[in-house]
Structure 1
Amino acid sequence: MSKRNSQASKSAARERLRIERERQAKRDKAKRQVIVAGSIVAVLAIAGGIGYAVVQNNEPSKWDAAADAKVVAPANTSGKNGSTVVIGESKTDNTVHLYEDPRCPACASFEQTVGETVNKGMTDGDYKLSFTLGTFLDGNLGGEGSKNGVSALGAALNVSPEAFLEYKTALYSTKYHPEETTDDLAKDSYLIKVANTVDALKDNKKFQDAVNKGTYDAWAMKMSKTFDDAKGVDSTPTIKINDKVITNPSSVADWQKALKDAGVTK
């Protein structure tokens, strides 16, 4: 090979190498741009996710919103926000006031042991029955069963006082009252299932719609506030006869004695 040809070959080789380096540089630049763009997208996605989570955390819960919502009070209530529930026509001025929480196991035990006798005294005209329903166990144990249960009881009360009493009895029954630490009452389907054992509520579309739509959620929150503000009430059940707290009866005999001691019966 001549010297000229050798130099030409070297020049051509250098040119090819230059061109290849330029191509590689362009490919590297494009790759870096893709990586940077991907990183930006990832950062934006993370930021967006964090932002969404912050917004979600700052949004009020269903029950926080209900606490500030306009109250729809059930029928058969009175007083501010319908938070007074009094049932019965008494021949006297005697009133038995029950403070209960739907999730409360002691309330369930009281209902199972004495509830029928308590209701009979009301129907016999010995006294009126007054109810204030609390939701503090949701706060103590977590969950929404107490609040949802009170709302459903409001839906039953809207049907009739009798439906309310029968539904409350069913919710507190050995068959349907859940363990305190479970939250079955938070499920609308469970509340409706129990209601279907009560004649006035069985397949009652108006009642079911009220439960599913949370018609009485705001009322439940106001009722709960009334419970929290009640004097002399620091546990459930709390029972007052003519505004005086009594020792919770553990038997029908205890209940009858409490009524006699309070001068309600002889």
Structure 2
Amino acid sequence: MSNRNSQANKQAARERIRAERERQKKQERLRRQLVVAGAVVGILAVAGGIGFAVMKANEPTGWEAAKENKPVAPKYTEGKNHTEILIGDPKAKETLEVFEDVRCPACASFEQSSGPALLKDIEDGRYRVRFTMYTFIDDNAGGEGSKNALSALGAALEVSPEAFLKYKTALYSTKYHPDEREDLYAKDSELLKVAGEVPELKNNKAFEAAVEKGTYDRWAMDMTALFGRKGVRGTPTFMHGDKKLVMDQIPQRQMTQAQYNQLAQANFRKMIDKEFGPAKGTDGGKGGGKGIREGEKDPSGAR
């Protein structure tokens, strides 16, 4: 072999080795780039997953989430967000405002003793009643029974004002009303059991579906937002226009439940007669309404 061929062969061999090394270097750079890219994608995926998890964790749940639901208001409601529950003869010149919380033991005591007198005045057309239903006991005592019962009352109001009144009476009854510390009305099953006492609601599939689906949960939250309206922060409270009505206290002495109920109802009637005048049949049939209070445009629509 000549020296020329030998040198040429060596040069060619060196070129092949150089080319192979370059190829290997390129492959190594590509491998490192793929590893880095994969790591970045993995980090982004983890970060994205964490971000999504944080976002989900910060999303409102339960009754707070109900505030974002599409508004669905029951029939027979008026005003902003349909939070005015006005029941009675629309021609009645008087409007009594009643503030209650379904879990409230004092409200239950009022309903059990004086509820029939209130219902009779509504039936007689003595005044209309605007019910403002609070749910503050859920916050104070814990739970969600006030809100859940209010949502169910919305489903009853969708059926009729009569169904609403009867259902509210049943919820406050001695048979069903739970201790304030027992959040029994948080259970739909309990609310439906109470509804069995109301002919309009018993086996009413539309009503049952509305309770179980929470159709009026958003409406209940809109009602809840009225807490503190007209300065009222306790229940039961009674107002005529901007005037708070006050009942006499029951004497602190031993008595039967029947005696207590009799005194409580007498005090309620006394309070109402003092504000609205004697009821029909107690003053020669003239009636006792004084009309809308001076300077008040519409007490039923005031906030």
Deviation at residue 141 of structure 1 after TM alignment? 1.0
Distance in 1 (CA, whole Å) between partners of 2:75 and 2:65 is: 23
CA deviations on 1:184-221 (whole Å, 9 max, x unpaired) are: 10000100000011100001000000000000000000
* Deviation, structure 1 residue 229: 3.9
Listed as ranges, the matches of 1:9-158 within 5 Å are 57-89=57-89, 92-158=92-158
* Map of 1:258 onto structure 2: 271
- Compared CA separation, residues 196 and 52, structure 1 to 2 (3 A): farther
Please give the TM-score of this superposition, normalised by the length of structure 2: 0.68
CA contact (8 A) 1:67 1:221 kept: yes
Where does structure 1 differ by over 2 angstroms across 4 or more consecutive aligned residues?
Answer: 50-59, 263-266
1:188 equivalent in alignment to 2:150: no
Distance apart, 1:51 and its partner CA: 8.8
Name the % identity. Answer: 53
- Offset of residue 53 of structure 1: 8.0
* More displaced 10-residue stretch of structure 1: 57-66 or 198-207: 57-66
Asked if the contact 1:149/1:191 (under 8 Å) is kept, the reply is: yes
What is the total number of aligned residue pairs between the two structures? 218
Tell me, what secondary structure is at the counterpart of 2:65?
Answer: helix
User: What is residue 234 of structure 1 aligned with on the other side?
Assistant: 233
Give the conservation status (yes or no) of the 8 Å contact 2:230–2:242.
Answer: no
State the TM-score, normalized to the length of structure 1: 0.77
Q: Which runs of 5+ in 1 are unaligned?
A: 1-49
> What CA RMSD, in Å, does the superposition of the two structures yield over aligned residues?
2.1
The structure-2 alpha-carbon separation of the partners of 1:54 and 1:175, relative to structure 1 and needing over 3 Å to count, comes to farther
Distance, in Å, in 2 between the alignment partners of 1:87 and 1:118 is 12
Matches of 2:137 and 2:155, distance apart in 1: 21
Report the Cα offset of residue 234 of structure 1: 1.5
**What is the SS of the residue equivalent to 1:262?**
helix
For 2:267 and 2:91, the matched residues in 1 are separated by 23
Which amino acid in the other structure matches residue 221 of structure 1? Answer: M
Deviations 1:43-83 (A, max 9, x none): xxxxxxx9998666423122111112221000111111110
| Structure 1 contact 97–243 (Cα < 8 Å) conserved | no
1:180, CA displacement in angstroms? 0.2
CA deviations 1:104-125 (Å, max 9, x no partner) are 0000000000000011011001
1:5 corresponding residue in structure 2: none
Please, which runs of 5 or more residues in structure 2 have no aligned partner? Answer: 1-49, 251-263, 279-287, 289-303
